[in-house]
């Protein structure tokens, strides 16, 4: 799980079950030349290279050489090892898929395995400064991760069979129409983003940037229910249709922004694919907070199509997974807990005013630094963020009489940072779903190009 942040407070961190022997401590990894941990897949390697090989084989990952010659350097002094050459080196020294202990790890243990690693670019490092003595056997657990049955993987499965295309399960008839609709989501988004004029907003007076997006947010939400009925069971058809609706609403919300509407189609899709889940998650906790206050956080309440979703709501995954409803909910539970505590709780404590919340949404949308967008898009993003920052300044100074509001800005930023951290956890969760084929229907999660398993 490359890029995993092991500092997240809600991730389970467990040190090795057994200490390496003295001979292992003095051996070096046959791949990266760091201190080896033991024999992995038939070769003396460190845990990081073993985990890299296992992920590459199981997910059938393909890499391109950074220098295009297959002769990249290896060694402790190399900061970023070429992944293509690293995998070739694994094969060269004799690591084979036949030596993978396929039934060893449970689904929850994959989280433990990867949280032991610290990713650094293309090379995964267990400890950037290895010591010559074993670590203390310590366990730090802030959130229990429920266990699921072992994935059905044969220990005799050879590499050739592993890389063979998996048999497609027949789609249940009642889901066939829905699957077709899901496959049309990218085209739906493109039709929306092909427009170059922003969504029309009728107002008796000119609107500022944040005011336009406040109108867009009201349109996206619609009237929030004041006394929604509790939902005890949710069919996946209803759940997935609500996802399709929210994807369309998020795209239309973005098109209310004049600067966004003028961007090229490709740039719009890039921003949408990145920002969609961040925005949806903010709304997932903000809407029940608006209706119920902090009670929504304490009771773990969410709203879905005017229905109240509680921790006791059961999702029927029949036709989408080989796991039972109870197993799926048990695995989702820590993820939802951390969303409420690590994002919902800070949002409730900050209690942003309506204009401040819109500022959070817009800043999240235009957080394109480090993304693969054009320089002109970066310039537009910078100008837009300056514009809404100036508008927020006027709000603080003239509407709230706050001359010094630096602390308030830090509080708003803390909410955005919490959202960023939770996105990493979500990515890790869906990585595990892919790794173990928890769900077997492919759907687009964020935008036109991004396809993942639900």
User: pLDDT at residue 368 above 90?
Assistant: yes
What is the full DSSP assignment across 31-63? TT-SBP-EEETTEEE-HHHHHHHHHHHHTT---
What is the maximal distance between C-alpha atoms in the chain? 79
**C-alpha–C-alpha distance, residues 378 and 92, integer Å:** 43
Instruction: For domain 179-453, say whether CATH 1.10.10.10 is its number.
Output: no
**Domains in the chain: boundaries:** 13-162, 179-453
Residue 329, pLDDT score: 83
Q: Are 272 and 250 in contact (CB under 8 A)?
A: yes
Chain segment 50-68, per-residue pLDDT in tens: 878 887 877 777 888 877 7
Chain segment 201-250, per-residue pLDDT in tens: 998 999 999 999 999 999 999 999 999 999 989 888 888 888 889 999 99
Residue 269, pLDDT score: 96
- How far is CA 132 from each of CA 17, 22, 26, 216, 275, rounded to the nearest angstrom? 18, 9, 8, 59, 44
Residue 137, pLDDT score: 35
pTM: 0.63
Say yes or no: do domains 13-162 and 179-453 share a fold.
no
* Mean pLDDT over each residue of the chain, to the nearest integer: 76
Percent of the chain at pLDDT exceeding 90: 40
CATH class of 13-162: alpha beta
User: pLDDT at residue 21 above 50?
Assistant: no
Chain segment 101-153, per-residue pLDDT in tens: 443 343 444 343 343 333 333 333 333 333 333 333 333 333 333 343 333 33
By three-state DSSP, how is residue 429 classified? helix
pLDDT band at residue 440 under the 50/70/90 scheme? low
Chain segment 314-328, per-residue pLDDT in tens: 888 877 777 888 888
pLDDT band at residue 435 under the 50/70/90 scheme? confident
Average pLDDT over residues 269-275: 94
């Amino acid at each position: 799980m490359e890029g995993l942040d092991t500092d997240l407070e809600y991730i389970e961190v467990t040190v090795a079950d057994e200490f390496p022997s003295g001979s292992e401590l003095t051996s070096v990894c046959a791949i990266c030349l760091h201190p080896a941990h033991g024999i992995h897949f038939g070769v003396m390697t460190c845990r990081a290279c073993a985990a890299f090989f296992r992920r590459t084989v199981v997910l059938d990952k393909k890499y391109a050489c950074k220098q295009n010659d297959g002769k990249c350097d290896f060694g402790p002094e190399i900061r970023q090892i070429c992944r293509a050459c690293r995998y070739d080196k694994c094969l060269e020294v004799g690591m084979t898929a036949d030596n993978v202990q396929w039934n060893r790890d449970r689904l929850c243990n994959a989280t433990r395995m990867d949280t032991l690693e610290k990713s650094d670019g293309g090379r995964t490092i267990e400890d950037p400064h290895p010591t010559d003595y074993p670590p203390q056997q310590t366990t730090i657990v802030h959130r229990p991760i429920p266990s699921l049955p072992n994935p059905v993987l044969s220990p005799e499965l050879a590499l050739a069979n592993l890389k063979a295309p998996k048999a497609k399960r027949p789609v249940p008839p009642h889901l066939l129409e829905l699957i077709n609709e899901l496959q049309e989501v990218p085209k739906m988004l493109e039709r929306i983003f092909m427009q170059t004029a922003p969504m029309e907003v009728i107002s008796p007076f000119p609107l500022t940037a944040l005011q336009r997006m406040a109108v867009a947010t009201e349109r996206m939400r619609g009237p929030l229910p004041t006394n929604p009925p509790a939902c005890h069971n949710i069919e996946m058809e209803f759940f997935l249709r609500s996802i399709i609706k929210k994807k369309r609403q998020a795209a239309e919300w973005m098109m209310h922004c004049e600067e966004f509407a003028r961007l090229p189609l490709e740039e719009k899709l890039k921003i949408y694919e990145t920002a969609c889940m961040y925005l949806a998650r903010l709304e997932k906790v903000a809407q029940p907070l608006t209706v119920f206050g902090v009670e929504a956080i304490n009771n773990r309440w969410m709203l879905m199509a005017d229905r109240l979703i509680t921790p006791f709501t059961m999702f029927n995954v029949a036709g989408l997974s080989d796991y039972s409803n109870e197993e799926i909910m048990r695995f989702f539970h820590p993820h939802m807990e951390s969303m409420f505590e690590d994002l919902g709780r800070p949002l409730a404590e900050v209690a942003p005013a309506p204009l401040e919340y819109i500022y959070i949404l817009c800043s999240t949308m235009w957080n394109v630094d480090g993304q693969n967008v054009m320089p002109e898009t970066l310039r537009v993003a910078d100008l837009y963020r300056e514009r809404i920052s100036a508008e927020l300044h006027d709000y603080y100074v003239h509407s709230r009489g706050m001359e010094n509001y630096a602390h308030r800005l830090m509080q708003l930023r803390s909410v955005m940072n919490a959202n960023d951290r939770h996105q990493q956890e979500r990515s890790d969760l869906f990585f595990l779903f892919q790794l173990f084929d928890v769900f077997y229907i492919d759907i687009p999660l964020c935008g036109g190009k991004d396809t993942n398993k639900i």
